[in-house]
Chain A
Amino acid sequence: MSYHVNEKGFYGKFGGAYVPEMLYPNVEELRQNYLRIIQEPDFQQELQALLKDYVGRPSPLYFAPRLSQKYNTKVYLKREDLNHTGAHKINNTIGQVLLAKRLGKKRIIAETGAGQHGVATATVCALMGLECIVYMGEIDIERQAPNVARMKMLGAQVVAAISGSKTLKDATNEAIRDWINNPEDTYYIIGSVVGPHPYPDMVARFQAVISEEIRAQLREKEGTELPTFVVACVGGGSNAAGAFYHYLDEPEVQLVAVEAAGKGVHSGESAATSILGKDGIIHGSRTLLMQTEDGQITEPYSISAGLDYPGVGPLHAHLFESGRAHFENATDEEALQAVLELTRLEGIIPALESAHALAVLERLKAKPDDIVVINLSGRGDKDLSTYLKHFHFDEK
């Protein structure tokens, strides 16, 4: 079975480009050009130089001794949290902004939930001297104030999405509407492996550097490129797509995707799309999504703003349905415990999103000789106020 996108833009039955005719020319322009541009030597040269000197790649693959001891297995952390801007998101925004420049676009738009993708987009726009507009749900603007401030500092205009539930899904709707209204000069940098083809494939390719590096680093450290498990959290699924990419066709490597269970999968406040979602169309892509019986898209919940998306990328829907990846989930509480555990055992404060991946370590039942690679997709600075409050460190 193939886990890669086919020539029509599908992963199994998922994917495609279900966009209104107003977006067709833009999406088609991208579809026709993205592979050619990405493969051009001067594109690759510019991309690799920026990934190395600006982002700080390769990110370390860190053997976590105390975590390994606790779970009696070999745990490695892929340190995407050490990238410039603090998460894996910049791997993709660097790639897409270079693509936008080559397509002659002058104006960049993006959506953001927790603000990490917004910050990564504002950062590369500052670097390239491009106008940047970031759509963000009104509610997220309130709860992610530090990232809003960073985007503004970087020169981006942050526009509040005030429709619908005023979170990530609505910010995405607003960004798509902006693109409809500005079809000629504008490029839309989508932050995850979602949206119409070719976005899921393109974003996965830009994030694939994660697993490319893991292979080389494991060869050096363990004498094999293949770990027993690769574990990553999934909202839309971009860091997981990057961590899985070069292992998709290595069946002995177990891929574990961890969704946010919120207050419990069946509590009514959850973002575990693989369990709660049904086949449908969201943001131009056929995939699994959380919806009512009448096909109205519902609002997910997670303490982590980066995981509360009602859909999941079509690649992941396909990995789930085909059984290639194993889907786990972690509740808010489990993620928070994992934050504290990593902080106290290894001296690393992870992002809430990444903590969901850490939270399932116990459940893997890994053997002492197994190699577990956990993608530590982001750092926890942005979540400090949540942590302080939850762990009562803010009490005098």
Chain B
Amino acid sequence: MKNRIKSLFAQKPKGILSVYFTAGFPNLNDTESVILELEKNGVDLLEIGMPFSDPLADGPTIQASSTVALKNGMTISKLFEQLQDIRQKTQIPLVLMGYLNPVMQYGVERFCQKAAEVGVDGIILPDLPLHQYVEEFKELFEKYNLSKVFLITPQTPEARIREIDSHSNGFIYMVSSASTTGKTVGLAEQSQVYFQRVAGMQLQHPGVIGFGIHDKGTFEAACKHASGAIIGSAFVKALQREGSLSENIKSFIESIKN
């Protein structure tokens, strides 16, 4: 079975622009419009955040968007409903990102099955540790042809990066620095050293850099060292500007690409 993530990286090994947004934000039923607008504006890969009450790895912007989304009534079931017909409208690779507890309550197998059914390509669960995934869930993810994307950080030792690489499929999410999401201090020199170190490891899977990527400058800097970069908090902020959803998305993506 074809996996859209693998096809994307095969066709476009450099300069991939990936965008994260929180499902159910700003409005409950914006999911489809956000996906289609992002694709129309030339984004390559999407991460759809499944909101959680206690998102440990996230900074204030994504926390706040999650709170609003939950208040709006977003749930995993609701999200799958919204994505039911998405593959009739777009072939952009879709990755679901969220925390383990809501997925556990939904049922991990049921979650994988439903994700595959609606055409999701990959899953990121930052608080599902590698060994737990390998022991309990890897078979399940493979059965449903879902890419499991893992995070690595500047503190991840080389041996562990190689282990993560061996259990990944799709891409490796390179967290740019020791931080939660949404820090906008730019990419420190230390980060550059880490990017080069990882690039030098010749991993089996492409790396995509995220956390702290918020404008054209940081996007381009990240792309020098990896296959692409992920923008999250800056995009979530852009959705809160005055103006229509489609205008906000268009102007934000243009500011990154042009």
Contact = CB atoms under 8 A, between A and B. Distances in A.
Contacts of A25: 153, 155-157
B178 A182 contact: yes
Classify chain A's interface size.
35 or more
A169 B54 contact: yes
Interface string B138-161: 000000000000111101110010
Nearest to B160: A24
Nearest to B99: A281
Given A21-B156, A22-B151, A181-B179, A296 B53 contact: yes
Q: Which of B54, B99, B157 has the most CB of A within 10 A?
A: B54
Contact of A294 (B75, B128, B160): B75
Interface of A: 16-22, 24-25, 163-164, 169-170, 173, 176-177, 180-184, 278-284, 291, 293-298
Contact of A295 (B57, B101, B128): B101
The 8 closest A-B pairs by CB, nearest first: A295-B102, A295-B105, A20-B126, A21-B151, A296-B53, A25-B155, A281-B101, A20-B57
Contacts of B151: 20-22
A7 to B, nearest CB: 12
B70 interface: yes
Interface of B: 52-54, 56-57, 59-60, 63, 67, 70, 75-77, 99-106, 126-129, 132, 150-153, 155-157, 160, 175, 178-180, 183
8 contacts: A18-B100, A20-B151, A21-B126, A281-B101, A281-B104, A291-B105, A295-B76, A297-B54
Nearest to B70: A296
Contact of B180 (A17, A177, A298): A177
A20 B58 CA distance: 11
A181 B180 contact: yes
Contacts of B150: 21
A282 B126 contact: no
A310 to B, nearest CB: 9
Given A279-B104, A284-B56, A295-B106, 5 more contacts: A20-B127, A163-B60, A170-B54, A184-B178, A284-B127
Contacts of B153: 21-22, 25
A291 B180 contact: no
Given A19-B129, A22-B175, A284-B127, A180 B105 contact: no
Given A19-B127, A24-B156, A180 B180 contact: yes
Contacts of A280: 101, 104-105
A297 B126 contact: no
A20 B53 CA distance: 16
Q: Which of A17, A173, A281 has the most CB of B within 10 A?
A: A281
B156 A294 contact: no
Contact of B152 (A21, A279, A281, A296): A21
B63 A293 contact: no
